[in-house]
Amino acid sequence: MSTYASSADVVPAVEAGAAGYLLKDSSRSEIVDGVRAAARGEHVLAAEVAGRLMDRVREPAEPLLKPREVELLRLVAGGATNRAAAAELFVSEATVKAYLQQIYDRLGARDRASAVALAYQRGLLT
């Protein structure tokens, strides 16, 4: 139960294993019914919460990588070193390293090779 109905509050709760999400201003019968339903293994969402989650799902998804990150990954896939990529993109090597770390984090990659492989698998590079 919570006072907050935003998807930014609901999604982490559900990801953490919550069986449902009710608001504190729910009626006594909604709360009792919700607890019983959750105990039976059913999922319970307050109507307002369900509406906000629907809105979130309908929003266009943000691209996994930003255009500049894809550009860098293309250079890396072509064998460019950090220094060469920095020169090509007119940025510092430190910026290239920071971009690469962001790419690794977003793709769940461990290193350059796995980032490139994952990018090809996901259709980010062709």
What pLDDT is stored for residue 3 in this prediction?
A: 85
pLDDT of 56: 75
Across all residues in the chain, what is the average pLDDT? Answer: 91
Please check the confidence at residue 61 and state whether its pLDDT lies above 80: no
Q: Report pLDDT digits (tens) over 89-118.
A: 999 999 999 999 999 999 999 999 999 999
State both tokens at 55: 């809105």
At residue 101, the pLDDT reads: 96
Residue with more model confidence, 69 or 60:
69
pLDDT score, position 41: 93
What is d(CA 63, CA 45) in angstroms, rounded to the nearest whole number? Answer: 28
